Structure 1
Amino acid sequence: MDRTPANDTWFQGKAARSIHEDQLKKVELFNGRAAMIGFVIGVITEGLTGQGILHQIGLGPLVDGYATCSVQMLPFCF
């Protein structure tokens, strides 16, 4: 087996990329699951309280102002 520095560098780079890709897959899987749980909790809370998800996170006045805006003046509502 050839033990040249160039061969070692290539192997180390390949191993580092493989480890990084594995970690990235795990992190993205966790983020996706957390987002799904958050969305389900928001929908359940909406069903229990009657307030939409935007109201729950504090954007209710913005949504209410948009809903009461005149359709003729739609671009100038905000």
Structure 2
Amino acid sequence: MNANGGRFVAFRRGSERLPIKGIYAESPSTAMGQDGAAARVTWQNEASKRLATGLPAEVQKQLAAEGLSAVTPDNSGD
């Protein structure tokens, strides 16, 4: 059904035209905004894995493009 500018799934509780009971699905923004929601946990785990593997390579690539080395500075207290 279309109503108020949106679409939703509905089913009838009887043989009459009314009442219709709407079934609302969770939107992606709602799922990502809730701590512990399956979508958010999955996204965070995947993002952490990709960040851990991809960030060092991207930093190295950028350093090489700039002509810099990846040597850490000496922090001897100067």
Shorter-chain TM-score tier: 0.3 to 0.5
TM-score (norm 1): 0.35
TM-score (norm 2): 0.35
